[in-house]
Amino acid sequence: MVDNIDQLYADIQRGNENTIAKAISMVEDGTKDAVKLMKKVYRNIEPAYLVGISGPPGSGKSTITQSIVQLWRKENIKVAIIAIDPTSHFSGGALLGDRIRMDKISTDQGVFIRSMATRGSLGGLNSSIYDTVLIFSLAGFEYIIIETVGVGQNEIDIVKLADTTIFVTVPEAGDEIQAYKAGLMEVGDIFVVNKADRPKSKQMVLTIEQLVSFREDKNIWMPPVLATNALKEEGITDIKKRINDHHIYLQENDLLQKNRREVIRAQMINLMEKKLNEKYISPILKDQKFFKHIELICKKKEDPYSVVNELLLL
């Protein structure tokens, strides 16, 4: 229990690292205090600028993230990083990985790195991700980066929270069809072909430029396709510049508010699903009756459709 939500709020606002970490854990655990805290945060805080970075494993997202953060740090801008991982039974692996790979910024006081799971404990998109964004905003971080490792539908939904989404790929990520299928393509505001010293790099840039040109909104923001070599820190200033361009574009076209509305909508759906799960599904899963039904379905004496209606009393 927390004695005083206002004190907690003030400590976060002061940038106290331990309090920030504690608040995020509270939100993840869904405590009553977390709800009280978040009610206050939602009613007081404007979210910081949110950048999503996504792409297939091994494309160099973490190296790019680290290099961009270093550029911002030179301007004394505080940055928080939320590293999203598919929840893994190999516990601890994710966090460890980030720490190793972001060694140039992990000890910087102006940088806060937090690993979070894709899903909440009850399934569904992890609603604490956006709450964490707001906690970081309260703590005075000016940029927040959400990095997703996976390339699935959940990951698309997570980067959709962002104001600017960067999609990173590599020259050999696959032929045209593979790129077309990647799904994340449609949400990118900036595309990066990393490891551009490799063969097929120019071809990949052209492929993406062509895919992007099919977009309906092409006469508005035309996503740039940048070639970088993150390990040599080549092309990073260009990414930083394009984030800035996109930020200005959003501001000038009143799109920041539009994005915010969509995020709030998604967040509310998440919260509703969570509430319904807690109230209706969780008790069923703990009930011995549920296991008996599964056995009967396996023996073909019942079927899931009939049983579900019965269990939910619908």
Question: Considering only residues 224-253, where is the footprint of a second copy by CB under 8 A?
Answer: none
Does 254 participate in binding a second copy (rule CB under 8 A)?
A: no
Does 174 participate in binding a second copy (rule CB under 8 A)?
A: yes
- For residue 217, the Cα-to-chain-centroid distance in whole angstroms is 24
CB of 57 or CB of 288, closer to a second copy:
57
CB of 213 or CB of 237, closer to a second copy:
213
Considering only residues 200 through 229, tell me which ones interact with a second copy, judged by CB under 8 A.
211, 214
CB of 72 or CB of 124, closer to a second copy:
124
Q: What is the DSSP letter of 48?
A: P
> Closest distance between a second copy and the C-beta of residue 28, in Å?
15
- Strands of the sheet containing 79-85, edge to edge, are 111-117, 79-85, 143-148, 49-54, 164-169, 190-193, 225-227
Considering only residues 261 through 300, tell me which ones interact with a second copy, judged by CB under 8 A.
261, 264-265, 267-269, 271-273, 275-277, 279-281, 284-285, 290, 293-295, 297-298, 300
* CA nearest neighbour of 140 among 15, 313, 285, 34: 15
Q: Measured between alpha carbons, how far is 256 from 289 in angstroms, rounded to an integer?
A: 49
> Closest distance between a second copy and the C-beta of residue 82, in Å?
15
Alpha helices in 43-126 (DSSP H): 61-74, 93-101
Binding mask 32-71 for a second copy (x = CB under 8 A): ---x--xx--xxx-----------xxx-------------
φ, ψ for residue 52, nearest 5 deg: -100, 135
Among 25, 152, 206, 232, the residue binding a second copy under the rule CB under 8 A is 152
Tokens read off for 178:
């593979």
Q: Measured between alpha carbons, how far is 189 from 217 in angstroms, rounded to an integer?
A: 11
> Closest distance between a second copy and the C-beta of residue 75, in Å?
29
Among 7, 10, 25, 93, the residue binding a second copy under the rule CB under 8 A is 93
Q: Measured between alpha carbons, how far is 43 from 191 in angstroms, rounded to an integer?
A: 34
Tokens read off for 85:
């991982």
> Closest distance between a second copy and the C-beta of residue 36, in Å?
9
Among 7, 25, 153, 251, the residue binding a second copy under the rule CB under 8 A is 153
Among 146, 184, 227, 236, the residue binding a second copy under the rule CB under 8 A is 184
Count of residues near a second copy by CB under 8 A: 88
Stretch that binds a second copy, among 18-26, 80-88, 136-144, 239-247 (CB under 8 A): 80-88
CB of 104 or CB of 260, closer to a second copy:
260
Residues of 68-80 as b/e, b for ≥16 C-beta within 10 angstroms?
bbbbbbeeeebbb
Contact 68, 36 (CB under 8 A): no
Q: Measured between alpha carbons, how far is 312 from 314 in angstroms, rounded to an integer?
A: 5
The sign one gets for the Cα dihedral 92, 169, 163, 261 is negative
Among 4, 7, 25, 309, the residue binding a second copy under the rule CB under 8 A is 309
